[in-house]
């Protein structure tokens, strides 16, 4: 298999992700899930994802579709990079095992389908927040906990954000 084919094999459908997770579960591997837009991949993203990968054996990244990013109200120009470019960049990271695109405003349906062992978000969220209307609530945390999984947050790399990069480019 060529390296490019290997990279492409990490970008999967929900059905393919479920199949691979089934194999990993038979090997008793810990499945870690996180999600985001990952519009302009930067050091903060890479550090965060590497730390998330360290929490288990397999890291799955859910990525917002272009339409989903636009609905988040981050700005008319967002996403800057199209979903296929964002998926390819994430799949190229050696510690990312699977990348799955989702269309919804949140990854709740995806998390419900995959039921990871660990759900991870940045420390701008609160793993103990239970109010679904709170901006600090981690979507899908109730699902993961109901199935015996864990929910955790990772400190963010100070000074790195896509919004900050966009502002800097605007001058």
Structure tokens at 27: 């090997």
Closest CA to 139 of 87, 68, 74: 68
Instruction: From first to last of the 171 residues of the chain, give the pLDDT tens digit.
Output: 899 999 999 999 999 999 999 999 999 999 999 999 999 899 999 999 999 999 999 999 999 999 999 998 877 788 999 999 999 999 999 999 999 999 999 999 999 999 999 999 999 999 999 999 999 999 999 999 999 999 999 998 776 666 666 666 677
By residue count, the chain amounts to: 171
Q: What residues contact residue 140 under an 8 Å CB cut-off, 6+ apart?
A: 33, 106, 107, 108, 111, 112, 119
Rg (CA), the chain: 16
- Specify the DSSP class assigned to residue 79: -
Q: How many CA atoms lie within 13 A of 32 on its CB side?
A: 21
Domains of the chain: which residue ranges? 3-170
Strands 118-122 and 98-102: unpaired
Give residue 52's Cα distance to chain centre: 10
Which phi and psi (to 5°) does residue 61 adopt? -115, 120
Domain 3-170 has CATH 3.40.50.620: yes
Residues 53 and 95 sit within 8 Å (Cβ to Cβ): yes
Report the predicted TM-score, pTM, of the whole model to 2 decimal places: 0.93
């Amino acid at each position: 298999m060529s390296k490019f084919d290997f990279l492409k094999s990490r970008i999967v459908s929900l059905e393919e992700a479920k199949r691979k997770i089934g194999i990993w579960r038979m090997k008793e591997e810990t499945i870690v899930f996180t999600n985001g837009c990952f519009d302009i991949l930067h050091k903060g993203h890479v550090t965060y994802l590497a730390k998330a990968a360290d929490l288990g054996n397999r890291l799955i990244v859910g990525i917002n579709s272009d339409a989903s990013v636009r609905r988040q109200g981050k700005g008319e120009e967002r996403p800057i990079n199209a979903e296929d470019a964002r998926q390819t960049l994430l799949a190229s990271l050696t510690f990312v095992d699977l990348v799955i695109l989702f269309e919804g405003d949140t990854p709740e349906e995806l998390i419900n389908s995959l039921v990871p062992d660990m759900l991870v978000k940045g420390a701008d969220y609160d793993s103990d927040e239970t109010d679904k209307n709170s901006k600090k609530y981690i979507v899908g945390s109730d699902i993961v906990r109901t199935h015996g999984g864990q929910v955790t947050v990772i400190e963010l790399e100070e000074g790195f954000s896509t919004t900050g990069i966009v502002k800097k480019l605007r001058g």
